[in-house]
């Protein structure tokens, strides 16, 4: 995973679908992205809050691989960093292939732990008609593949920005495949 890096960082203080690109974002251990609407110990995504507001927030940070935007462009979608709600856009790393519990070291000191896959929702189609179907696929075994990014929790504080390196530490074997969170 040489050359993996952050392409863009984004945040929004309100529950809007897209997030604004920023020069940098501050990750806060146990909370998420400082000033982001999804920051907190317990769930902040409105659909999760409606079910049980006391659930732990396993979706503190949303990451998307920039390579997805290239794939979507081939299908006629013009999507850029932050547009589909991610906080961190990466390149050079296959986020979807990471196991649960993988740790990503971002920049000088930030560290996050992968908790699962983002489940594509109807908001994608509200943003661009047909986008939900475009970020779903099937693997060779016919299993559903969710391509809309991964979710993580913050383990160690740190400021992150475009150009920062991303390094991966895998958890001990056996690795557990990512499921939606």
Main-chain phi, psi angles of 59, to 5 degrees: -125, 45
- The model's pLDDT over 88-117, given as tens digits with 9 standing for 90+, comes to 999 999 999 999 999 999 999 999 999 999
Cis peptide before 174 (omega within 30 of 0): yes
pLDDT (mean) for 115-136: 93
pTM of the model: 0.95
Q: Which domains does the chain have, with CATH numbers?
A: 5-169 (2.40.33.20)
- The model's pLDDT over 25-62, given as tens digits with 9 standing for 90+, comes to 999 999 999 999 999 999 988 788 888 989 999 999 99
pLDDT (mean) for 164-177: 97
């Amino acid at each position: 995973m040489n050359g993996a890096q952050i392409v863009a960082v984004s945040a929004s203080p309100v529950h809007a679908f897209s997030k604004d690109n920023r020069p940098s974002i501050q990750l806060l251990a146990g909370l998420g992205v400082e000033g982001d609407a999804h920051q907190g110990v317990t769930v902040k995504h409105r659909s999760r809050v409606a079910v049980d507001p006391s659930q732990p927030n396993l979706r503190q940070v949303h990451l998307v691989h920039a390579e997805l935007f290239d794939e979507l462009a081939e299908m006629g979608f013009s999507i850029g960093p932050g547009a589909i709600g991610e906080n961190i856009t990466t390149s050079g790393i296959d986020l979807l292939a990471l196991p649960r519990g993988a740790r990503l070291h971002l920049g000088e000191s930030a560290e996050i732990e992968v908790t699962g896959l983002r489940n594509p929702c109807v908001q994608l189609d509200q943003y661009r008609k047909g986008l939900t179907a475009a970020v779903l696929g099937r693997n060779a075994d016919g299993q559903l593949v969710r391509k809309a990014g991964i979710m993580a929790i913050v383990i160690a504080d740190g400021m992150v920005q475009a150009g920062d390196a991303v390094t991966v530490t895998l958890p001990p074997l056996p690795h557990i495949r990512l499921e939606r969170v």
